[in-house]
A and B are shown apart, each in its own frame.
Chain A
Amino acid sequence: MLVLPRPTRTVLFALFLMVPFMLPLEALAQSSAVGVWNIRSRDMTDRATGGIRSVLLRIQGAENEFTGEMTAVSNRFLPVEQLSIEGRLIQVVFGSYEYSLETEGEEIRGTVESPFGVQQVSGFRQYRGVMYVGDVSEEFETTRPGFLGLSSGAEPPTGVDPASWIRRQISSVDDLALIVGNRARVPVAFTNAREFQDELLANLGRDVSMLAVWVGDRLQIRSIDPS
């Protein structure tokens, strides 16, 4: 009979106890592939594209039931021909392009092999850009910088404290909006301002970065970070 030393037994017992937790961790790692990935490479044809070739890979599903779509030249999503996900490793075959990718948090990198040769690619999980959705209309998550002000678009006069001025103008937090845009100052209202009442009031008149989901032309707030 094999008798293991006590420390080894302790480690093995600890590992045994961790098994039920390791399986969800694996599933969690796989689910991290879910989302939209903006994958960029140098445009090997050097055509009039600014030198960068950018494609979007959208992965949906969970556990071992994943589906993948990729954008083609028209920016329309088309189903990929093969998709395999093992932990952080993603293999995709899309037409004559074969991608070997690895995710790391919000970043992705790897290679693409095509009749042009083998190329390095790198990219990121796409929340922030607006060139995102393809031909499907749906809600999606976005991070929006802006100024926390009034949904009427009125802005504080110069020389006054913006927070105090805005607080005097509102009857409830439903009157607040994120003022976005560079040239045009556009107020974007919220669907769930009351859920975030304290944070909204604490950041009145300040620049913030808001993680939210678009619902029509309004934002459903998920988090607010002072810029």
Chain B
Amino acid sequence: MRKVLFVGITLALAISTSNAQAQIPTWTEDVAPLMQDKCMNCHRPGEVAPMSLLTYDEAQPWARSIRLMVQDRIMPPWHATPEYGEFGNNRRMTPRQIQTVVDWVEGGTPEGPGDWTPPEYPEGWLLGGPLGAPDYVFEMEEDFMVPAGGEDININIIVPTTHEEDIWVRAAEVRGNSRVMHHNVVRVILPDGSEERTGRLASATPGKQWDLFPDGAAKLIPTGSTMNFSLHYHPSNVEEADRSRVAVWLARQPITHEVHSSVVADPGLIIPPFEANYESRGEFVFDTDAQITLMKPHMHYRGKDMLYQLVYPDGETETILSVPEYDMNWQISYELARPISVPAGTKLQVIAHFDNSEMNPWNPDPSLQVLWGPDSRDEMMEGWFDYRVELEEPIIPSSAQVISDGGLD
């Protein structure tokens, strides 16, 4: 009887211990897949994040900091309130995901069974995983040398293209030397020297990684165009070379919509000294039926919050994005999971506030009257957005015909 009791207790303890261990998340089973989804696009070699977290050996020493950042929702950076909008690129962790990370750290950061294979980024392109190698890469013709230290540099550099027929682009990704490149906005310049009417092609900013247009939507790059790279460099403490480039992936399906990029701005803003809640407004009126696909707030050090709202022709209003605690360090694009249809006559209103008081930890000088300007110490109120407009007739791009002929898909 005693023997049976002993075996029973031992078995119960073993099961209990096994259950307790099973409840601790592991790197290979729980944490790495989560971090691949939320963190690794930035936390990999050569990217903007300060450390790579692709492997267990890289991530484990940072476990306590990971817990700290995740628990307080500082990482992953995502500043839209969940009350408005549903976003396809939402990096916000759920409470359960946060608990997984916390339990992993507090459970001793077990590696877990099996091997974790870090994601691959063909030729370094984030979109290389889902889309394969890019169809074209347009690159600066020579290095731009960013000196060690000193003031920010804003410069436009013209980059040639190499395609021999008009191309329709469904995705683009901009890369440069992340040690010094703060952002790069790429615009298409037509052969006659004018800027392509649908606005910027793509951009790279901290927290924004690509421009991926919804199915059936694309942007045209006519043959003979050039690219204008509008670059903003923050010098580091050593001289750095940058040769920025943009990769494009061509449309593989009939194009039913053309993508436009536009902005609501308030270039007349005048922010008084010590003003803690200066309001700035702007609006855009759609002159045709359209679908909004993306929004990206942009302000500088004194930017405080930004709200996007629609006023439909019947007077109904709808908030589609609220960023109550704007952080200039992260220029995040909020890609809508489902485009929002707006009939012609709809107004997109953007309302922003600026904090020019001493209480703003980023404020370089609250005693200044602040005007519009490109320097981060000046201000901008820009509510960027993309929308798509249905074409009268679908366009079958040559790149799609290649697929149908070659049967690659």
Contacts and interface: CB of A to CB of B under 8 A. Distances in A.
Interface residues on B, range: 35 or more
A49 B234 contact: yes
B60 to A, nearest CB: 9
Contact of B74 (A73, A142, A186): A73
Nearest to A179: B367
A104 B109 CA distance: 39
Nearest to A97: B65
Q: Which of B69, B148, B238 has the most CB of A within 10 A?
A: B69
A19 B50 CA distance: 50
Contacts of A188: 274, 367
Interface string A92-129: 00111100000000000000000110000000000000
A200 to B, nearest CB: 20
A86 B274 CA distance: 39
Contact of B361 (A49, A75, A142): A75
A130 B77 CA distance: 25
A24 interface: no
A75 B367 CA distance: 21
B194 to A, nearest CB: 32
B172 to A, nearest CB: 22
Given A47-B178, A130-B364, A182-B368, A74 B237 contact: no
A8 interface: no
Nearest to A98: B64
Interface residues of A, number: 44
Interface stretch (A60-68, A132-140, A168-176): A132-140
Nearest to A138: B359
B72 A96 contact: no
Interface of B is mostly: loop
B45 to A, nearest CB: 11
Q: Which of B50, B61, B69, B180 has the most CB of A within 10 A?
A: B50
A42 interface: yes
Given A47-B179, A184-B368, A78 B68 contact: yes
Nearest to A45: B50
B64 A81 contact: yes
B237 A96 contact: no
A50 B237 contact: yes
A151 B362 CA distance: 27
Interface in B198-243: 233-238
Nearest to A178: B367
Given A72-B69, A95-B69, A42 B237 contact: yes
A76 to B, nearest CB: 7
Contacts of A165: none
A180 interface: yes
Nearest to B77: A74
Contact of A50 (B149, B362, B367): B149
Interface in B16-75: 48, 50-51, 61-69, 72, 74-75
B86 interface: no
B52 to A, nearest CB: 11
B128 interface: no
B375 to A, nearest CB: 13
Contacts of B181: 48
A130 B363 contact: yes
Contact of A181 (B48, B327, B365): B365
Contacts of A81: 64, 68
B358 A142 contact: yes
A90 to B, nearest CB: 19
A217 B365 CA distance: 14
A76 B74 contact: yes
Given A48-B234, A130-B366, A180-B367, A186 B361 contact: no
Interface in A38-89: 42-52, 71-76, 78, 81
B273 interface: yes
A17 interface: no
Given A74-B329, A186-B367, A50 B358 contact: no
Interface in A163-216: 180-184, 186, 188, 214
Interface of B: 48, 50-51, 61-69, 72, 74-75, 77, 148-149, 178-182, 233-238, 273-274, 327, 329, 357-369
Interface of A: 42-52, 71-76, 78, 81, 94-97, 115-116, 130-135, 137-138, 140, 142, 180-184, 186, 188, 214, 217
9 contacts: A43-B236, A43-B237, A47-B236, A95-B62, A96-B63, A96-B64, A131-B361, A131-B362, A131-B364
Given A48-B48, A131-B362, 13 more contacts: A50-B149, A51-B237, A72-B74, A74-B74, A74-B329, A95-B65, A130-B358, A133-B358, A134-B361, A135-B361, A138-B359, A142-B358, A184-B367
